[in-house]
Structure 1
Amino acid sequence: MTFSALDKPTNDNQTTFDIIIVGSGAGAMASSIVASDHGLSVLVVEKSGKFGGTSALSGGGIWIPNNDHFKAKGGQDSYQQAFDYLKASTENRVSDSRLHAYLTHAPEMIRYLERKSRVRYAVAEKYPDYYPHLEGSLAGGRTLDPEIFDTTCMGDEVENQLKASASTLLMGKIAWTARDAHKAMARERGWRLLLLKLIMKYKLDFGQRRKTRRDRRAALGSSLVASLRQSMTDRNIPLWLDTDFTDIVFSQDRVCGIEVVRDGEKQTLNAKLAVIFASGGFEQNQKLRDKYLPSPSNVKWSATPPGNNTGAALEAGIRAGANTDIMDWCWWSPTVKVPKEDKARGLFAERAFPGAIVVDGLGKRFVNEAAPYLEFGDAMYRNNAATDGKSLPAWVIFDANFRFNYAMGPFMPAQIQPDSRLPKGWLNTLYWKADSLDELAKQIKIDADGLSHTVERINRFATTGVDEDFGRGSNVFDRYYGDTNVKPNPCLAPIVKGPFYAMRIEAGDIGTKGGLLTNEHAQVMNTDNMPIAGLYAIGNCSASVMGQSYPGAGATLGPAMTFGYIAANHIAKDITKDLTNGKQTTL
């Protein structure tokens, strides 16, 4: 079969495309836009009935060192500084060629999308890198936060087909940026007025309220995915939902298509140039978790949607001879399971708020609660091994003062959502409550003496402002979500006032970190360290360019979108070179 890259299908019944992308997250959509702009025909297939994957449920931030937005505000960053930081944080687990590819193309990628698509970002100037102790880190400026996106242009598609998560919305329904959330959570000056404005803008949108409780303004991951999806629509790029990838198709040692199940029927789709896997990790596949991840492990602890991210692309790649890496790691995050919700909720900012601690079954702290969530999850497993299984689950403990002032998981502060307004089914399932710490320890079956000693110790640290055990609040990252009004340490406050509360937390995740090993072009490598012709992988189905680290907020989506951009350009460059040389490619 011969082809020209200029053949571009327009029919939804087409089964032959230049590029087929498996998955519909931010990386997949970004890649489809770039490929389409090169004049290539693209099909995006999505397993579920809604598009956006875990990207739509995320904060939507992207970690882009040396970006234009920070520079425009006078920020100081450099390629070498960013490379030094990445090299230190990845600890030689990732090739220099991949690191250089990311640092070179990440600023290009977002520059391209903001110029050519509806995607818009702003710099989160105060959001620090996660490892401030490492050479090359910055106290802010590398994370970009999606701007609000008005979804009116999307019609019914946004309501029926865009994934949404109440956990990323103010009060479960109101759009706000990560910058808004930080101001409110850190209780910076003007935070109450900010919340009032956001609430009133939502409530006064009477036309939208008559149709749905969903805010017409998308933010965070929903904003990113909505703007990318509309940019696909602008280009007539087809997106097939409810299309389940099952395997790769080969011809003459080259990937030439995929097999899917659509409308209950098996179908073969032909890819003239390449297949790009962008279908997420394997965290929703218990058998694969049991095979690769630390024990114990449970799909129910994950904060990603059930039924998706089951590792189909990973398994197909392995069958095709692909190499893998970092298979024993997730993007760890402690999670809580809220009754009647289909997935667990990650605890991100709340752990830095003053007046809450996390303890194991012995009633002892085992980690800096404000640490990055990847390191927090890793600490849960390390402590679980050291205490013979006493760290899974762990427990977050707080008092009435904390409950009144701060959010925790699905709890809004009691000054907004008192206990009387909490669902009755949450008591003794999501949270436990008692008038004394001893009684609380008995309810959740942890060591009461250990908890009492731990609370005494943390109360002393709150007075001095120095956490002598784990250094909580001693660096710029910890303090990012601390309460700026609390002195001397914005991350420490005493636990003294009843009633006292506990929430059970698990060693959850926001996706797996390991997957198909790729090179600097996002090509999947085989076990002989050679590219598998016609096969690319980006996002969580590929081994992370960040290795076992999490350098900054957006270090998942940033690489997914960047390597999607790289893959599309690499495919287009190869076909352009062939056409320039007067060649045709035969599959």
Structure 2
Amino acid sequence: LLVSLRRRGVEIWTNTAATQLITTGHVVTGAVVSRSSEQWHIEASAGVVLATGGFARDARLRREFSGAHQHDETLAHPDVTGDGIELARGIGAAVDNEVASAGFWTPVSLLNTPRGKQTIPYGWLDRGRPGVIAVGPSAKRFVNESNSYHDICLAMFENGYPKDRRFYFICDQEFVRRRGMGYLLPWPWTLSISKYARNGYIQVAPTISALAHQIGIDPPALARTIEEHNRNAETGIDPDFLRGESAFNRMLGDPAVGKKNPNLGPIQNGPFVALRIVPATLGTATGLATDPEGRVLNDSGTPIAGLYACGNDMTSLMRGLYPGAGITIGPALVFAYRVVKSLTPFVK
């Protein structure tokens, strides 16, 4: 993208913030931007395209749009604070929040460091692998752990988050040694898990009962959950969530565990490990209401002349569902193309 812009002589301004849309009559004809402590009035030749990345880092907009999916964490860039959406709302643009959820989700863990809290993305080496389960406040499994990270978070909301935040990945130390867990890499990159237990990133206990006491859930219930999971690992069947039965699941399986189902591995030898998880957005799905050409609509559904949006500034055509990887960047490219194809130069 950068090479193509340079070939066409496009000037790129960094550290530049759009602060206002310029309208002439009912047409958006430019924008005011702040650059190097100066205000620049930029005149558009055919329209203004908003592509500022959504609102994932703005707590006020998260509260306004997230509905039942209230959350505090995101992996989005710190500058993704809803600037484009707010500029458009300031001239009467509508937000389309008719979505399954306002975000695209992944579970994350939180690591305390000397410089403050660090948000740790869901891992690849440990993600959905045999030998780990997810439990909620009831100490029961609540989801197919080998499904999409998006689905795991939606299941957390359906099972009590954020009113009750006791959600954990549970495994044994052998799983951590082989596959890691969250911030912890497999052995030999992580030689000891004790310091992570001391700073509270994980909880470690010699028995399942002791682990349950540490994380504040019912010990007998957690013991039953582990026993049931271990039986499933022997039979190869997960009757509650069908783990290991889809092609996506099996991609995360490991036949080397030597079980009938490569996605189901036992949790049987202490010490046992719990990692607290919270839902975080990868990006937002709610945004400005647009038409198929990316024209921004007002509350009556009429296009605002000269104003367009793409990327996470427009509501996702997937309506908050997550059918596959690239579901933000793919539509961003497609609708950027459709926007440009539909632009008509202003008549001077």
TM over 0.5: yes
CA displacement at 1:395 relative to structure 2: 0.5
CA displacement at 1:381 relative to structure 2: 0.7
Question: Does residue 259 of structure 1 match 2:32?
Answer: yes
1:489-535: CA deviations, max 9, x gaps? 12110001112111110021111110001111111122222211111
User: Which of the pair is proportionally richer in strand?
Assistant: 2
Q: Match for 1:272: what amino acid? A: S
2:324 to 544, 548, 552: 552
2:19 and 2:39 mapped to 1: Cα distance? 9
Aligned pairs, number:
342
1:66-92: CA deviations, max 9, x gaps? xxxxxxxxxxxxxxxxxxxxxxxxxxx
CA displacement at 1:417 relative to structure 2: 2.5
1:567 and 1:413 mapped to 2: Cα distance? 46
Name the structure 2 match of 1:585: 347
Equivalence map 1:193-232=2 (5 Å): 228-232=1-5
Indicate the SS of the match to 2:127: helix
Change (3 A) 1:354 1:468: same
In structure 1, stretches of 5+ residues that fail to align are: 1-227, 576-583
Equivalence map 1:254-403=2 (5 Å): 254-294=27-67, 297-299=70-72, 301-306=73-78, 308-326=79-97, 328-340=101-113, 344-347=119-122, 349=124, 350-384=126-160, 389-390=163-164, 392-403=165-176
Q: Match for 1:304: what amino acid? A: A
**TM-score, scaled to structure 2:** 0.91
2:85 and 2:282 mapped to 1: Cα distance? 17
Q: Match for 1:503: what amino acid? A: L
**TM-score, scaled to structure 1:** 0.55
2:300 and 2:5 mapped to 1: Cα distance? 37
Indicate the SS of the match to 1:273: coil
Q: Match for 1:412: what amino acid? A: L
Q: Match for 2:163: what amino acid? A: G
User: Is the Cα–Cα contact under 8 Å of residues 130 and 263 in structure 2 kept in the other structure?
Assistant: yes
In structure 2, stretches of 5+ residues that fail to align are: none
User: Is the Cα–Cα contact under 8 Å of residues 338 and 344 in structure 1 kept in the other structure?
Assistant: yes
Name the structure 2 match of 1:241: 14
1:301-357: CA deviations, max 9, x gaps? 211233x21112112212222222236521021111233477523326433100001
CA displacement at 1:402 relative to structure 2: 0.9
- Segments of 4+ in structure 1 off by > 4 A? none
User: Is the Cα–Cα contact under 8 Å of residues 65 and 286 in structure 2 kept in the other structure?
Assistant: no
User: Is the Cα–Cα contact under 8 Å of residues 461 and 467 in structure 1 kept in the other structure?
Assistant: yes
CA displacement at 1:296 relative to structure 2: 6.8
Q: Match for 1:368: what amino acid? A: N
CA displacement at 1:441 relative to structure 2: 1.6
Name the structure 1 match of 2:269: 497
1:512 and 1:343 mapped to 2: Cα distance? 21
1:452-503: CA deviations, max 9, x gaps? 1110110000111111111111111111122242331121100011121111
User: Is the Cα–Cα contact under 8 Å of residues 49 and 309 in structure 2 kept in the other structure?
Assistant: yes
CA displacement at 1:373 relative to structure 2: 2.0
2:103 and 2:206 mapped to 1: Cα distance? 37
Name the structure 2 match of 1:95: none
1:9-55: CA deviations, max 9, x gaps? xxxxxxxxxxxxxxxxxxxxxxxxxxxxxxxxxxxxxxxxxxxxxxx
| % identity of equivalent residues | 34
Equivalence map 1:429-508=2 (5 Å): 429-486=200-257, 487-508=259-280
CA displacement at 1:249 relative to structure 2: 1.2
Compute the RMSD of aligned alpha carbons. Answer: 2.2
User: Is the Cα–Cα contact under 8 Å of residues 304 and 343 in structure 1 kept in the other structure?
Assistant: no
2:220 and 2:139 mapped to 1: Cα distance? 7
Name the structure 2 match of 1:531: 303
CA displacement at 1:426 relative to structure 2: 6.4
